[in-house]
Amino acid sequence: MSVNIVSETKREILEKAPPENAVSHIWHKGTNPASDRIIAYVNKHAEAKMRNHALAYRDKKLEVMGLLLGEVRTWQGQEYVLIRDVVTTDLDATSVSVKFDDKGFEKLFAGLDDSGFDYVVVGWYHSHPGYGCFLSETDIKTHGGIFVSAHQVAIVIDPLNFQMEAFLLRDNIGQIHQFKVYWDTWDDPYGGLKKVKK
């Protein structure tokens, strides 16, 4: 990937409780995480975009990638990211590599401009079709060279094995961590209704 993502002025981190409506991802395979701490809460629409992007290229076994947009928060001394949306563009991809197409940056920047909220880039996602979820040497170099903040997340999707994991980079090692999918109260498919006992 040949893009440098630079930070703006230091943004104050919001102290706020994580979303209440959050569940473990159905594709999380119970891999032993580095800790029980939840490092990311992914909006259900952002999760669907990532998953469907990977599934769209599943049969061709091509990798996909994009950027994670959201905000950094803390709660009771623990930092986490809220991933509210994702953005991608045209890609130059094979079954074992992916990068943004050189001609696709205008589309990528338009997607960033159209996000509709004040975001920071909180990481990236990409797929490993049929190879499992891990950070390869190339992934580690990419993450370490571009996503330099400790909170920035890498989400890896294997659409053939139906697996999705979240990673942080620590001492040049990709460590799996817990993440959850959340939805806003107004976005609850059941309208926040609870069963009424008869």
Q: Which pLDDT belongs to residue 13? A: 86
145-174 tens-digit pLDDT: 999 999 999 999 999 999 999 999 999 999
CB 70 within 8 A of CB 81: yes
| CA triple 96-106-7, angle to 5 deg | 80
Q: Which pLDDT belongs to residue 195? A: 47
Give residues with Cβ within 8 angstroms of 147, minimum separation 6. 5, 121, 123, 124, 154, 169
Q: Which pLDDT belongs to residue 157? A: 97
CATH number at residue 106: 3.40.140.10
169 in a structural domain: yes
- The count of domains in the chain is 1
Tokens of 46: 């952002």
43 in a structural domain: yes
pTM of the model: 0.87
Length of the chain in residues, anyone?
198
Domain that holds residue 160: 34-186
CB 64 within 8 A of CB 128: no
Confidence label for 188 from pLDDT (cuts 50, 70 and 90): low
28 in a structural domain: no
Distances in whole angstroms, Cα of residue 64 to Cα of each of 75, 86, 106: 32, 12, 18
145 in a structural domain: yes
25-43 tens-digit pLDDT: 989 876 777 778 899 999 9
Distances in whole angstroms, Cα of residue 110 to Cα of each of 5, 30, 89, 99, 107: 15, 37, 9, 18, 5
- Stated as kind and residue range, the H or E segment containing 137 is helix 137-146
DSSP code of 84?
A: E
195 in a structural domain: no
Closest C-alpha to 85, from 32, 138, 28, 47: 47
